[in-house]
Structure 1
Amino acid sequence: MGLVCATPLLAQTGKTVTGTVKELQVPLVGVMVKEEGTDNSTFTDSNGNYSLTLQQDNAKLIFEQLDFPIREEEVLNRSVINVSFTKEDDGIQLKDVVINAGYYAVKDKERTGSIARVTAKEIENQPVDNFLATLQGRMAGVEITQESGGSGGGFQIKIRGQNSLRPDANQPLFIIDGIPYSSDPIGGTSTSGNRPSFTSPLSTINPADIESIEVLKDADATAIYGSRGANGVVLVTTKQGKIGATQVSIRTSMGLGKITRPLKLMNTEQYLDMRRQAYAYDGISTYPTNAYDINGTWDTTRSTDWQKELIGGTAEYNTIQTSISGGNTAFNYTVNGTHHEETTVYPGEFKYLKNAVHLALNYKDKKFNFLFTGNYSNQNNNQPSTDLTTVARELAPNAPALYDENGQLNWANNTWTNPLASLESKFLSKIDNLTANMMLSYAILPELTFKTNLGFTQLHSRELRTFPSTMYNPSSGQGSESSSVESNQTNRSSWIIEPQLSWDKKWNQHRFSFLIGATFQDQTTDRLYLTAADFPSNEMLLSLSTAALQLIGLDEKTNYRYQAFYGRLNYTLQDKYILNVTARRDGSSRFSPQNRYSNFGAIGVAWLFTKENFIKNNRWLSFGKLRGSYGITGSDNIGDYQYLDNYQTTSNPYNGTVGLSPIRLYNPNYHWETNRKLEIALELGFLHDRLNFSMAYYQNRSGNQLVGIALPTTTGFSSFSGNLPATVENKGWEFTLGSKNITTNNWKWTTEVNLSFNRNKLLSYPDLESSAYANTYVIGRSINSIKLYQYTGINPTNNQYEFYDYDGDGKITSLKDRAVLVDLNPSYYGGIANQIRYKQLSFDILFQFVKQERQLYLPTAIAGTMTNQLVDYGIPMQPYSTKNSQIAANYNLMRSSTLSIVDASYIRLKNISITYDIPLKDHFLKPQIFLQGQNLFTVTPYKGGDPEFKYNRFLPPLRTIVMGMKLNF
């Protein structure tokens, strides 16, 4: 009997196993079938068939396909093993999901930190060019707003509120394939000054190349990044090599875009009636000679919808993506290429082009692992240098035609400035961006691994803003000698080396994971701002060397050096008690030598209580975890050389010599901004994880605020960099709910809901009353609050606005009577996503919602002047006037009063995607057609345009509809 037991139960060496792999009765091509513990593998053919000769006894087969979790099948005594994947397998159970936490990976059920995630599937369903757009409405605690509807426009991201008093210091840390990626703007006021935001380098990242995006929020997740994790961390992982037979994918699409919510403005009849009432109220019966709209100079029967004419065009989108991938467990690869182009809603020939290439190579044997990822993108952006949105909303509806009878720009006898003339002035941008990362690891022992990351980034940007003489009225007689160009060039390069040593050990009921590592990073930025003027001809504007006058406004080179030493200890007892400790010591060249280094760290704990004996066999509760964390992160986000004396060249030479003037004072004493983070969270799974729920409470307190501290003008400086003894608190609740509503062979319906409440306030600020910020902030209130006059009503005697006189002096003054604070942060926000699949047809629908208040769109000129107005403001209006100084003064007070604050809450159909997998008899070819839409419709009480968009005088986000086809073979 003993001899029989020692003999292998099943002698299988040399045995051939065959079978078919299918999905919903459709054969799957390129599925890797591997014998566990060996390099013996094969792939399914075009009919889903495979054949594999075994190399060992008691064999087990592994079936790997990118879109499904790994399947394992013991061979036993079988010669035929058929595998059928169903859509129930599409999406791994909560306990099996592996989350990228930056320096390490962790199963979702075992994480002690707060990490949100989206994958390539959600990203691919959205027709957007900036990857931040794919996160809108999908993550609790992550607030993202679009800053421009123009091509290549940027986005603002806040993770759990605003921590810093400086608005530009609240960006999170971005990590692209393990490389810290600077999100500092690369534009300048000279070239981007007439756009709502500077050019962001994040627009160079191609969404089609992204495999997943993880957002780290609490101290446990972010403290390992130390000084750069105060505002959260965004981890972007690009697509890696795919295991399977060589697969080629081609995806092409085309689409259209329009502005989302044009304003309801007055037509000519309403507008002229307003103008006549204004003059009548002012006692004027003879209209002035320059009142061209009403005195008969312009046609009073003419009516033009200027929003339709100037920003009502249709943007066109065309994209083609190709991908080649394949390989086995030892070596696999992916090569992607993307070409994208789009036009604008403005009149004229303007275009945005983007090309991107992505390469991933992965080699792995029993001890050595090599991974390389490279991303290159090129952008060419040709846009108007002036946004036409403001003039489209304010121009009189009976203004002259844009073109005369000869097809030339119409200047209407010099009675107006033709808005199309501004299109002669262009914003031209070209950006080349390269990121490359190489990871090398070697298993010294089964439990001990050495790994190093080597990263490099290179960005080159050139922006031009042209001002040709053709943009001026020909009657002015200006030639190319009056033409000018503003130029901004930025070169930014960085390298990083991160050696790491990890040790993982498990024995009995104990699991230890230990990681130590170091970071060495160097970043260099070169900037050159140049003005050129007096050209020989307008055709030479792009050749700055031909200009008679060339003036250098800025020529600088800055260097940022950063180093750190970090460690992580993770201990798990009985697979249910988890302790995670991280520590980091950072050094930054942005501080003086005596304050250059600081320590950061965090502790996180988790209890998987459903593994306790008293509850683990519960029929309805399948998963339960209670976790918490506390730690300190920091920020050095204040720019380079701020602690040193800085000088710049003077613009006015003395005796032919260019001198230097001081622009910044020496201050070696300022140091790191810190953020203390606390979180407690509960995660639950019900009915075998068909229903998942989580709730988290967090409290973040940011101190030692790095700001520019105001100085008296007698010093010759406006401010100096330093720390304010102020503390900003963000606290709130986050809720997520996920459900698998229907799961059958033919039907699948899942729902994801997230909801966030964040409250921001200035917790403390010693001697605020005597500081330069006394009229900006109030202790106990949000730092994003604005001070307003208290509107009390309309005076029944003169029908004009009235406001509360807080100091009782009989006058309304800005400092004393502007006493009401209104918080412009959202009260809550979130999203609802549904994924529905029936056989080969899929629907993905995302709704985004925000509860908020904001200031109503109000033209700068009072109603009654030569500026168009909204048909319905939704607020009381005082009489129209063209010159009454008291009415104009009250109008300006109203624009800064509580009357201007309106409900700007909204529910938006953010995204919808419909895909259909076309079934063919030839299973080698897998065609798919799709229809996608973004910003499709919005429900809101807000009457001032798009409620998401905070820049009323610029182009709002566009509504886009895209259709296309994808072929896999």
Structure 2
Amino acid sequence: MKKLLRFFSLMLLMTIAFTSTLYAQEKKLTGKILDESSGPLPGVNVIVTGTSKGTTTDFEGNFSIVVPENATSLTISYIGFLDQVISINNQSTFTINLKEDAKQLQEVVVVGYGQMEKKDVTGAMSSVKAEDFNQGVMTSPDQLIQGKIAGVQMTPSSGEPGAGVSIRVRGGTSLTASNEPLYVIDGFPIDNRSSDPGTAGVYSNSAPKNPLASINPADIESFDILKDASATAIYGARGANGVIIITTKKGKEGTAKVNYDAYFGVSTISKKLGVLSADEYRSATAAEGTTPLDLGANTDWQDVMTQQAMTQNHNLGVSGGTSNTQYRFSVNYLNQDGIMINSGMERIGGRMNITQKLSDKVTLGANMMGSFTKNNNLPYGVGGALDGGVINNMIRMSPLLPQDYSSANLLEKNPYIMATNVRDFTNTQRVLGNAFIEAEFIEGLKGKINVGGDLTSAKRNAYLPGTIEWVGDGNGNADVRNMNLHNMLFEGTLNYSKTFGNVKLNALAGYTYQSFGFESNSTNATGFQIDEIAEYNLNAASGALIIGSNKESNKLISWIGRANVSIKDKYIFTGTLRADGSSRFGDNNKWGVFPSVSGAWRISQEAFLSNNNVISDLKLRAGWGITGSQEIGNYRSLPTLSGDKVYGAVGIGSGVTYNNYANPDLKWEETSQINIGLDYELFAGKVFGTIDLYQKNTKDLLLELQASQPASVERYLKNVGEVKNQGIELSLNTVNLSKDNFTWQTGIVAAYNKNEVVNIGDYDQILTGAVGGRGQVGQFAQVIKAGLPYGTFYGPKFEGLDESGNAIESEESHVLGQALPKWTLGINNSMTFGKFDFNFFFNGAFGHQVFNNTALEFSSTNDLYGDQTTYNVMKNAVDENIRSTKYNSKFIEDASFLRLSNLTLGYTFNMSEVKYIKNLRLYVSGQNLFVITNYSGYDPEVNSPAAGNQVPPVGIDYNNYPAARTFIGGLSVEF
């Protein structure tokens, strides 16, 4: 690590020294930049033409800059005004009046099925552009905006490369259906279902992978997040959990540009768990007079199982175009090792975006990406015949045993042997693209046809060699699984824009058709005599051959309409209506209608604020709408059959049985939402932000009820129950300083959300979140109950230890905490000093708890004090003399945290005298540098997969893949 940092520091200093020789004598220029009314303009960019050297104006519009003697002109640019190039000649003082640019003044944001001027937006939405993205090692696009958007919480499932991320926009709206937002990439709504085929339980499953990890983050231009119902209702049945619109980078008219970006990094485990060291182990057991199995080793198993993980990432992009043709092509290569040995991911991909004008009235366009991702899966989960994965055994294994220790005992599995001998790889290929044609029929009326497809193919090959002693009979086990996903889209829309005096109208109407398909098959075989390529030669198996297959599909047909009316640029009204027909629901409820209405008053346009020197812009918004969720899986309204084989002493039998009860009344989960918001800008843009208040109620929750017997199945799905979310979102952006060669800007986002389960139909309560570990069978950590938030921890209170060291607990169960944060926070600071840029970003969450199931399993010293034991325990278990315990409030820990997520320092060189290089920037960056928290586990941001009783649990930490601390050095070059 130190060598890497020294290398980049030396490279930075050498380059600075080299480029300093390019400068001859310099001179100082000063000036003042005004608007058309001679008012000062702060924050205006003043650049030496043809270079990256520049400054910005202060609050009074003044600037000062030192330029090379041979500089001939200055380029002046400011959002909302036309760029100007000013000749220097022999002048040293300037007064410059900028002219307004009507097109730039109207900032454009992406909304559903089109674009809209930001001042005309009446719903709650947030935008993040490329220059504001998180920096560092980013394996998927969602990581670019973690902590950047008020009301959007992102929780990684683990620290594994490519791991899934749980995203909640204004809290969860469902108990059993998905709470993930809808993603729309370049106008294509994708199905964000995980493509990981999974494995048989014998391999100890890892957490699901992130399907967005197949997309290169460097190709992303912007995110537009639609949050309230008035913004998301245009997506109807898929808008209840918010919509994240991703726009990729496009080519622009002008000379071709070649950009190359690369970084190299190293990651290490950010925190180790407090289990006993070898000396502490010997001391503790000697005091008890026990004789554990001691082979003379002093093994730190967390050191053995973790590594300094290397990462490299390369991006090459070419873009440019003419007035008729714009293009951008890019390729990417990422290779990221995991901090746990024998884990990681590798991705190679490419993207092509092209726009072609056939005439002044007709435009063609295409967006296409392809990627290949290889995941080296570490069997770190818990369960199956291995009785625990790598991390579970890493924590459990006695430090007195050597790294090569092996035993046939299922409870003494060496994690190093497990990690290095199990072969488990997933290869995923994905092609995602869409093409469109847009034509203007008459002035203001445009028609657009958009077609696309998203095809994913994944194959997972896993093999457990027979040479591992605990496998049993000495014969290997192979598991091969395939999954294919397809998503096909057709859209036709009409858009009409027209201005009638002081009234501006924008109207949209359209039809969409989208079909989704899924196929999978699996084969598990045992009895291999040769281990080398067994998973690719299943015919060599002498034992049982278990096969399975599945095929599903569903369709969504929709009619959409939206009208936006602006009167005098002050009073704005938007109405949206979408009708969705889904094959997933019952015959009586195939169609759902989702309306919304909203309005805005641009108070700053009123005469009484026209001469106000403080308020630059002020807009009050209000909206209401209804959205839905169809993420319940396929065929749940229909009677379905399943087949299975039974292996017995007399041979193989098979049978078919019902596995789902027909419910023709099954319908959408429906979410209604009210939002009131205020957009503000003060002191000519030096301070700006938003405030939003919201309440959303979800009814007709989908829960499984007990079927009246006799019946073909025990349970069936029905619409019952209600959940409520209400909260406030705040964003504040400030330009703190804008002086000669120095700027400092701060962005703060904060959100409060209160979630409440209003009712769950006939249920009094639903217990969920199965507690893991030996002796915990039948225990649940969470309760779903009216009046409590989703993810409420529930169980006995810890009241101390008796004389024998056994836990004393309350007889009754109590509410012990909640997994959902009450507050989330993000703080970003960006600075420039001359050619240096500096950025640091904090994020945090507060007012919630995590169930530390890992600590529970390893807090019983009964596992330590015994002859020939091979178990380890937590240090505090010895210090507190805990002999045995079970699930209680002791293991519900405060999970509030504040994290320094990223710190980046960069330097941009002046390339004005270099023939082929236009810009060059070097930077160093650190991620997850420290976390302020009381949580004792690896990381408070965690959501391990855990078994649920109908409702999936949240906020449980059980043998999770640790979080990494990463340092990188990189460069960006534009040719």
TM-score class, shorter-chain normalisation, is 0.7 to 0.9
Equivalent position of 1:915 in the other structure: 906
Q: Cα–Cα, structure 1 residues 308 and 246, in superposed 2: closer, same or farther, change >3 Å? A: same
Q: Cα–Cα, structure 1 residues 414 and 800, in superposed 2: closer, same or farther, change >3 Å? A: closer
Q: Which amino acid aligns with 1:962?
A: I
Instruction: Show structure 1 runs of 5+ residues with no match.
Output: 1-20, 30-46, 51-62, 404-408, 806-816, 882-887
The whole-number CA distance in structure 2 between the counterparts of 1:77 and 1:832 is: 40
The structural deviation recorded for 1:328 is 2.4
1:178 partnered with 2:187: yes
Q: Which amino acid aligns with 1:462?
A: K
Alpha carbons 2:495, 2:507 under 8 Å: kept: yes
Q: Choose which of 419, 423, 429 in structure 1 pairs with 2:415.
A: 419
Bigger mean CA offset, 411-420 vs 913-922? 411-420
Equivalent position of 1:18 in the other structure: none
1:535-550 correspondence to structure 2 within 5 Å: 535-548=528-541
The whole-number CA distance in structure 2 between the counterparts of 1:74 and 1:822 is: 59
Q: Choose which of 354, 359, 365 in structure 2 pairs with 1:361.
A: 354
- Deviation digits for residues 609-632 of structure 1, max 9, x if unmatched? 011111122111111111011110
The whole-number CA distance in structure 1 between the counterparts of 2:467 and 2:104 is: 63
Alpha carbons 1:791, 1:804 under 8 Å: kept: yes
Equivalent position of 2:484 in the other structure: 491
Equivalent position of 1:239 in the other structure: 249
Q: Choose which of 198, 203, 220 in structure 1 pairs with 2:208.
A: 198
1:815-854 correspondence to structure 2 within 5 Å: 817-851=812-846, 852-854=848-850
Q: Secondary structure at the match of 2:794?
A: strand
Alpha carbons 1:191, 1:465 under 8 Å: kept: no
1:703-742 correspondence to structure 2 within 5 Å: 703-711=699-707, 715=711, 717-724=713-720, 726-742=721-737
Q: Which amino acid aligns with 2:397?
A: L
Q: Cα–Cα, structure 1 residues 441 and 464, in superposed 2: closer, same or farther, change >3 Å? A: same
Q: Choose which of 131, 144, 147 in structure 2 pairs with 1:134.
A: 144
The whole-number CA distance in structure 1 between the counterparts of 2:599 and 2:697 is: 20
- Deviation digits for residues 752-800 of structure 1, max 9, x if unmatched? 00011110011234443388999932211102102121233445x6564
Alpha carbons 2:226, 2:242 under 8 Å: kept: yes
The structural deviation recorded for 1:903 is 1.9
1:870 partnered with 2:864: no
Q: Choose which of 299, 307, 311 in structure 1 pairs with 2:302.
A: 307
The structural deviation recorded for 1:735 is 0.6
The whole-number CA distance in structure 1 between the counterparts of 2:934 and 2:229 is: 38
The whole-number CA distance in structure 1 between the counterparts of 2:195 and 2:676 is: 38
Bigger mean CA offset, 944-953 vs 709-718? 709-718
Q: Choose which of 951, 962, 965 in structure 1 pairs with 2:968.
A: 962
Equivalent position of 1:559 in the other structure: 553
The structural deviation recorded for 1:97 is 3.0
Alpha carbons 2:757, 2:790 under 8 Å: kept: yes
Q: Choose which of 527, 531, 553 in structure 2 pairs with 1:534.
A: 527
Equivalent position of 1:292 in the other structure: 292
Alpha carbons 1:292, 1:298 under 8 Å: kept: no
The structural deviation recorded for 1:842 is 0.9
Equivalent position of 2:264 in the other structure: 254
Q: Choose which of 390, 393, 396 in structure 2 pairs with 1:391.
A: 393
Instruction: Show structure 2 runs of 5+ residues with no match.
Output: 1-43, 53-69, 381-388, 769-779, 865-870, 944-956
Alpha carbons 1:27, 1:48 under 8 Å: kept: no
Q: Secondary structure at the match of 1:169?
A: coil
1:537-936 correspondence to structure 2 within 5 Å: 537-548=530-541, 551-652=545-646, 658-711=654-707, 715=711, 717-724=713-720, 726-744=721-739, 746-769=741-764, 776-795=783-802, 800-805=806-811, 817-851=812-846, 852-856=848-852, 857-861=854-858, 862-866=860-864, 867-872=871-876, 879-881=881-883, 888=884, 891-892=885-886, 895=887, 897-920=888-911, 921-922=913-914, 924-925=916-917, 926-936=919-929
Alpha carbons 1:628, 1:680 under 8 Å: kept: yes
Query: TM-score of the superposition, structure 2-length normalised?
Result: 0.83
Bigger mean CA offset, 760-769 vs 360-369? 760-769
Query: TM-score of the superposition, structure 1-length normalised?
Result: 0.83
The structural deviation recorded for 1:102 is 2.2
Q: Which amino acid aligns with 1:934?
A: Q
Equivalent position of 1:54 in the other structure: none
1:271 partnered with 2:275: no
The structural deviation recorded for 1:552 is 4.8
| Number of residue pairs the alignment of both structures matches | 862
Equivalent position of 2:156 in the other structure: 146
Alpha carbons 1:428, 1:464 under 8 Å: kept: yes
- Deviation digits for residues 472-492 of structure 1, max 9, x if unmatched? 369x6x54xx21212221111
Q: Cα–Cα, structure 1 residues 222 and 273, in superposed 2: closer, same or farther, change >3 Å? A: same
Q: Which amino acid aligns with 1:170?
A: N
Q: Which amino acid aligns with 2:346?
A: L
Equivalent position of 1:27 in the other structure: 50
Q: Secondary structure at the match of 1:390?
A: helix
Q: Cα–Cα, structure 1 residues 340 and 763, in superposed 2: closer, same or farther, change >3 Å? A: same
The structural deviation recorded for 1:715 is 4.6
1:943 partnered with 2:936: yes
Alpha carbons 2:80, 2:105 under 8 Å: kept: no
The whole-number CA distance in structure 1 between the counterparts of 2:76 and 2:48 is: 18
The structural deviation recorded for 1:106 is 1.9
1:321 partnered with 2:315: yes
Q: Cα–Cα, structure 1 residues 705 and 94, in superposed 2: closer, same or farther, change >3 Å? A: farther
1:436 partnered with 2:433: yes
Q: Cα–Cα, structure 1 residues 437 and 412, in superposed 2: closer, same or farther, change >3 Å? A: closer
The whole-number CA distance in structure 2 between the counterparts of 1:670 and 1:249 is: 52
Q: Cα–Cα, structure 1 residues 338 and 414, in superposed 2: closer, same or farther, change >3 Å? A: closer
The whole-number CA distance in structure 1 between the counterparts of 2:102 and 2:931 is: 33
Q: Secondary structure at the match of 1:539?
A: coil
The whole-number CA distance in structure 1 between the counterparts of 2:104 and 2:686 is: 10
Q: Secondary structure at the match of 1:534?
A: strand
- Deviation digits for residues 915-950 of structure 1, max 9, x if unmatched? 211223226412211112221111112222211124
Q: Secondary structure at the match of 1:652?
A: strand
Equivalent position of 2:66 in the other structure: none
The structural deviation recorded for 1:450 is 0.6
- Deviation digits for residues 628-654 of structure 1, max 9, x if unmatched? 111100011111111112112221289
Alpha carbons 1:147, 1:196 under 8 Å: kept: no
Alpha carbons 1:22, 1:85 under 8 Å: kept: no
The structural deviation recorded for 1:48 is 11
The structural deviation recorded for 1:194 is 2.9
Q: Secondary structure at the match of 1:324?
A: strand
Alpha carbons 1:123, 1:208 under 8 Å: kept: no
Alpha carbons 1:949, 1:956 under 8 Å: kept: no
Equivalent position of 1:470 in the other structure: 467
The whole-number CA distance in structure 1 between the counterparts of 2:914 and 2:308 is: 39
Alpha carbons 2:580, 2:591 under 8 Å: kept: yes
Equivalent position of 1:11 in the other structure: none
The structural deviation recorded for 1:711 is 4.4
Q: Secondary structure at the match of 2:417?
A: helix
% identity of equivalent residues: 24
The structural deviation recorded for 1:237 is 1.1
The whole-number CA distance in structure 2 between the counterparts of 1:674 and 1:785 is: 23
Q: Secondary structure at the match of 2:330?
A: strand
The whole-number CA distance in structure 2 between the counterparts of 1:509 and 1:78 is: 43
The structural deviation recorded for 1:190 is 2.5
Q: Cα–Cα, structure 1 residues 614 and 731, in superposed 2: closer, same or farther, change >3 Å? A: same
Bigger mean CA offset, 489-498 vs 850-859? 850-859
The whole-number CA distance in structure 2 between the counterparts of 1:160 and 1:251 is: 35
Q: Secondary structure at the match of 1:610?
A: helix
